[in-house]
Amino acid sequence: MYAYKLDEFAQQAGRLDCAIIVPILNEAANIQPLIEKIGTVLTGYDAEIIFVDDGSTDGSLEILESIAAANRSIRVIRRIGRRGLSSAVVEGFLSTVAPVVAVMDGDLQHDESVLPAMIAALQSGEADLAYGSRYAGGGSVGDWAADRLMISNVATRMAGSVMKTPLSDPMSGFFAIRRELFLDIAPRLSQAGYKILLDIVASHPEPIRVKQVPYKFRTRTAGESKLDSMVVLEYVELLLEKLVGRLVPVKLLMFGAVGLVGTLVHLALLWGALTGLGASFAIAQGSATLGAMTFNFALNNVFTYRDRKLTGWRWVTGWLSFCAACGIGAVANVGIGTLLYTEAWSWWIAGLAGALIGSVWNYAATSWLTWRKR
C-alpha cells in the first residue's frame, strides 16, 4: 500500500534539478524581490529555494512562512539561538537532495542572472564547483570604499595559503557545487565564521575542478550588513584552523595569546602595587594574580570564546569557575616546576615546563568548566 502511494506521489512530483540556499538575517524588504528574480532566471529548472533563518526579528520569518505555505518549492529552516553564515548554509545543504546546490545572499547583492551559467557548468560536467567572481574579467565589487577594497585584497591573498585550488574570489558567498562533492567535504568543514566557499575549498585535500563566472556585486539597498569587526577575527581563525588546526586547537593558541598579554598585565599590576601603593610583596603578588586572572577571563570571554560569551549572572559564575580552575593550574605549575628543578633541570626549563603544563591544564579545564558548549 505504501509502495503504491509513493508511486502515485512520484508521478505528481518532478525531479529536482537544483536547490538555492539563502541565509537570512533580517532581510524583510529583500525576500519577495529575491524570489521573483530567481524565479525569472530559473524558468525551465525544477528548483527549490531554501531559506535558513537565524532568528530574524524584522518580520522576515513571517514573510517567508506565508510564501512557503503557498509554494512547496520555497522552504524555510529556522534555527533557534544560533548564529553564523557558514553553519546556516551547511544546514541548508544537508536538507536537500538536489544534485546541484547553489548558495547566494538574501540581500540582492549577488546577481542572480549568472545562476544558470553556474548550474549549467555543473550539470554538463564541465566543473564540480562554479563560483561568482567579482575579480575575474567582467566582474566588479561595485562602489566599495578604498579601505574595504584593500582589506578584501589582503584577505584574498592570505586565503591562497590554505587552498589547493586557486580561486580569483575566495571570499565570494555566491557559488554552486555538486551535492555529492559537498557531502564528501562536509565532515571536514570548520563551519566557523562567514567564508563557507573558502572553508569548502580549503577542506578538500585535492584540487577541485572549478569554473569562475564574473559578476558585478550590487550595493545593498535595503536592510543592513551583519558583518562587523569580529569578521576579521573569524577569518583569521578559519585560516589558522586550516593551517595548523590538525596539530593544535586554534582556541588553545588564542588562549595562550591572551595568557601572554595577561602576564604583562600581571607584571604591571605588581609593579603598581609595590611602588604606587607600597604594598608588601605577598599582598601585591596576590592582588596582581587576581587582577590578571580577571583580565584573562574577561578577554577570553570576548575573544577566544566569543561564540559562547557569558553575560550577566553567568559572567560571575564563569569568573568563579575560571579562577578555581586556574588556581589548580597554578598548583600543578609550581609542583611540576619544582619537581623538575629538584631533578637537576636548569631553572628556566623547569619554570617553562611548569608554566606550559599549567596553561594547557587551564585551557582544558576552563573549556569544559567555564565555556562548555551547551
Ligand X SMILES: Nc1nc2c(ncn2[C@@H]2O[C@H](COP(=O)(O)OP(=O)(O)O)[C@@H](O)[C@H]2O)c(=O)[nH]1
Which residues sit at the interface with Mg ion, rule CB under 5 A? 107, 109
Cell numbers placing 21: 540556499
Task: Answer with the entry of ligand X, Mg ion, none that 227 interacts with (C-beta below 5 to 8 A by kind).
Answer: ligand X
Residue whose C-alpha is closest to residue 56's, from 79, 73, 75: 79
Nearer to Mg ion, 27 or 199 (CB): 27
Cα 271 to Cα 266: distance, rounded to the nearest angstrom? 9
Cα 276 to Cα 269: distance, rounded to the nearest angstrom? 10
Quote the least distance from Cβ 12 to ligand X, whole Å. 31
Q: What are phi and psi for residue 110, nearest 5 degrees? A: -90, 135
Task: Answer with the entry of Mg ion, ligand X, none that 241 interacts with (C-beta below 5 to 8 A by kind).
Answer: none
Cα 364 to Cα 127: distance, rounded to the nearest angstrom? 43
- Does the protein bind ligand X through residue 34 (CB under 6 A)? no
- Does the protein bind ligand X through residue 227 (CB under 6 A)? yes
Considering only 20, 28, 49, 85, the residue that binds ligand X (CB under 6 A) is: 85
Task: Answer with the entry of ligand X, Mg ion, none that 84 interacts with (C-beta below 5 to 8 A by kind).
Answer: ligand X
Quote the least distance from Cβ 141 to ligand X, whole Å. 11
Query: What is the footprint of ligand X within residues 99-128 (CB under 6 A)?
Result: 105-107, 109
SS3 194: coil
Query: What is the footprint of ligand X within residues 2-31 (CB under 6 A)?
Result: 23-25, 27
Binding part of the chain for ligand X, among 48-56, 232-240, 249-257, 311-319 by CB under 6 A, reads 48-56
Cα 270 to Cα 82: distance, rounded to the nearest angstrom? 41
Nearer to ligand X, 106 or 139 (CB): 106
Quote the least distance from Cβ 225 to Mg ion, whole Å. 5
Considering only 226, 306, 308, 309, the residue that binds ligand X (CB under 6 A) is: 226
Residues 197-236, buried b or exposed e (16+ Cβ, 10 A)?
A: bbbbbbbbeeebebbbbbbbbeeeeebeeeeeeebeebbe
Q: Are 191 and 83 in contact (CB under 8 A)?
A: no
- Does the protein bind ligand X through residue 306 (CB under 6 A)? no
* Residue 289 CB burial class (10 angstroms; 0-12, 13-18, ≥19): middle
Binding part of the chain for ligand X, among 124-132, 136-144, 223-231, 336-344 by CB under 6 A, reads 223-231
Task: Answer with the entry of ligand X, Mg ion, none that 25 interacts with (C-beta below 5 to 8 A by kind).
Answer: ligand X
Cα 258 to Cα 244: distance, rounded to the nearest angstrom? 18
Binding part of the chain for ligand X, among 9-17, 47-55, 290-298, 329-337 by CB under 6 A, reads 47-55
Task: Answer with the entry of ligand X, Mg ion, none that 106 interacts with (C-beta below 5 to 8 A by kind).
Answer: ligand X
Nearer to ligand X, 11 or 225 (CB): 225
Query: CA 40, 44, 48 angle in degrees (round to 5)?
Result: 75
Query: What is the footprint of ligand X within residues 49-78 (CB under 6 A)?
Result: 52-54
Nearer to Mg ion, 24 or 64 (CB): 24
Quote the least distance from Cβ 283 to ligand X, whole Å. 47
Q: What are phi and psi for residue 23, nearest 5 degrees? A: -75, 140
Residues 41-75, buried b or exposed e (16+ Cβ, 10 A)?
A: bbeebebbbbbbbbebeeebbebbeebbeeeebbb
* Residues within the interface to ligand X (CB under 6 A): 23-25, 27, 52-54, 83-85, 88, 105-107, 109, 225-227
